[in-house]
Structure 1
């Protein structure tokens, strides 16, 4: 018996709806006690969360602040277990067992940030590709 796998490409609308939902969840998570970035991005933090809440997910003003939030999330993890943030970002930690609830919370937020950031990047690329092809 031969099996055939057909991969269905997610439509741009489905991807956008998913990213908007992820942005809202990420903003809610940050509002419930996520780390606030230091330095220049501190002032951009609340406006970024407001844009994410409203569904404005592709604003380039949010790029640096989103990266700063990621660094802050990594620092939170590193304070608890040095070196674990890179493991979270580059390996499968879905079956890790946690004795420390704070570490588990930090891991989940870092994973949420990474998933949102990657989906947002895919959406931005698809929108740009569509625009490029439309201009031809």
Structure 2
């Protein structure tokens, strides 16, 4: 019987830091011009928004709109990555972005009652 369950054990360079609690994460770093998003919950349960006055919020230093953020430049590296998966596809963005297909699949299931497990999710699979 094999002594491994999945794949090959790798020695991560940050493993000791994470296990001992010494690792730092992105949220712990401060950079000049860094922006944060804040979700503000309504104070009225089941209320209806009839108007939004953003002037008071915009008066605070550092409060910006999406339209105020400068344009981002992205560089795409057009190579296959056979270590990522058998067909060489790489993820885009943060590592957590890999949960998006599952979230979309769950949304499709909630909307239609049909569980799709193959990607890409196609309309034909729902018909």
Instruction: Give the structure-2-normalised TM-score.
Output: 0.25
Higher helix share: 1
The structure with higher relative contact order (CA 8 Å, sep 6+) is: 1
